C-alpha cells in the first residue's frame, strides 16, 4: 500500500506539474501584447471535474486502507503463543499466558552510559511462531511499539487491543512507548529477544525458578485503585 500510494501521488504530481508548465508556456504574455485576456467567471464542468476526481482518489485510497488494516489486524488464526503486554508509568509488564509466567518491568534510569539496556525489561519471543499480543494499560494511554516489526498498537485504559506477528529472524530488538504518557515517557523502553524454541523454553523455566511464575493481573491498575478508594469512601459515608 505504501508503494502504491507513492506511485499514485507521483502520477498526480507529474500530471499537475505538466499542466502547470503547459499553462505557463501557452498562456504567457507575449511581447507587445497589452490586451487583457478574456475573463471567465465560472466553468461548471471543470469545477465538477476537480471536485469529483479527488473524491474518487480518496475513496480508492480509503478502500485499500480498510482492506490492508483488516488483513494486518486479523487475529482469526489460532496463535502459537499469547502474550499480554501491560503498559504503566513508566515501564511494561509481560504475561506469558501459555506458560503461566511473567516479568514485571521497572522504570529505566537513562544515564547515557553504556549498559543501561541491560536494566530494561526484556520480552522473549520464539522465532517462527505466531504470537498474539494483548495490549492493555494500567493508568494512562500508552502505545506498544517495536520499530523493527513495523507495527504499533495503543494501550488504552479499560480496553483490550490485539494483534498477531510472526518473528522470522533471531536477534535483539528495541521496543518503546509511542504515546506521550507523562514526565518519564522517554524512559519507557524495553528489549525484545527473538530466540530459538529451546532458548525460549529455557527462559520460561528460568522465570519459574526465579519468582516469575503466575500472571500479573490488571487489577493492580490505577483505575482499580481509584474504584476501591471510592467504594471505601462510600462505606465511610464521605
Do 110 and 169 belong together in one domain? yes
Domain count, the chain: 2
Do 57 and 170 belong together in one domain? no
pTM of the full structure: 0.72
Q: Is 169 in contact with 127 (CB distance < 8 Å)?
A: yes
C-alpha dihedral (142, 147, 148, 149), degrees to nearest 10: 50
Q: Kindly state whether residue 227 falls inside one of the protein's structural domains.
A: no
Do 91 and 14 belong together in one domain? no
Q: Is 143 in contact with 92 (CB distance < 8 Å)?
A: no
Mean pLDDT of 209-216: 90
Do 102 and 203 belong together in one domain? yes
Mean pLDDT of 167-186: 93
Domain span holding position 110: 81-217
Return the closest-CA partner of residue 148 out of 203, 191, 206. 191
H helical segments located in 81-221: 197-209
Q: How far apart are CA 167 and CA 81, in angstroms?
A: 12
Q: Kindly state whether residue 237 falls inside one of the protein's structural domains.
A: no
Q: Kindly state whether residue 238 falls inside one of the protein's structural domains.
A: no
**Residue of 136 and 220 predicted with greater confidence:** 136
Average pLDDT of the residues of the chain? 87
Mean pLDDT of 164-183: 93
Return the closest-CA partner of residue 107 out of 176, 44, 188, 202. 188
Amino acid at each position: 500500500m505504501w508503494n502504491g500510494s507513492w506511485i499514485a501521488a507521483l502520477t498526480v504530481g507529474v500530471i499537475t506539474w505538466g499542466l502547470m508548465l503547459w499553462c505557463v508556456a501557452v498562456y504567457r504574455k507575449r511581447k507587445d501584447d497589452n490586451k487583457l485576456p478574456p475573463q471567465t467567471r465560472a466553468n461548471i464542468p471543470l469545477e465538477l471535474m476537480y471536485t469529483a476526481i479527488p473524491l474518487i482518489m480518496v475513496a480508492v485510497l480509503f478502500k485499500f486502507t480498510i482492506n490492508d488494516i483488516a488483513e494486518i489486524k486479523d487475529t482469526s488464526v489460532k496463535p502459537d503463543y499469547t502474550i499480554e503486554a501491560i503498559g504503566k508509568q513508566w515501564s511494561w509488564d509481560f504475561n506469558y499466558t501459555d506458560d503461566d509466567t511473567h516479568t514485571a518491568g521497572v522504570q529505566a534510569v537513562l544515564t547515557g552510559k553504556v549498559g543501561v539496556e541491560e536494566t530494561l525489561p526484556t520480552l522473549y519471543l520464539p522465532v517462527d511462531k505466531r504470537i498474539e499480543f494483548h495490549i492493555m494499560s494500567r493508568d494512562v494511554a500508552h502505545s506498544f511499539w517495536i520499530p523493527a516489526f513495523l507495527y504499533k498498537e495503543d494501550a488504552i485504559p479499560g480496553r483490550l487491543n490485539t494483534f498477531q506477528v510472526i518473528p522470522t529472524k533471531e536477534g535483539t530488538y528495541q521496543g518503546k512507548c509511542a504515546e506521550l504518557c507523562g514526565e518519564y515517557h522517554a524512559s519507557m523502553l524495553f528489549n525484545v529477544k527473538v530466540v530459538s524454541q529451546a532458548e525460549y523454553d529455557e527462559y520460561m523455566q528460568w522465570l519459574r525458578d526465579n519468582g516469575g511464575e503466575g500472571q500479573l493481573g490488571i487489577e493492580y491498575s490505577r483505575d482499580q485503585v481509584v474504584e476501591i478508594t471510592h467504594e471505601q469512601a462510600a462505606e465511610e459515608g464521605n
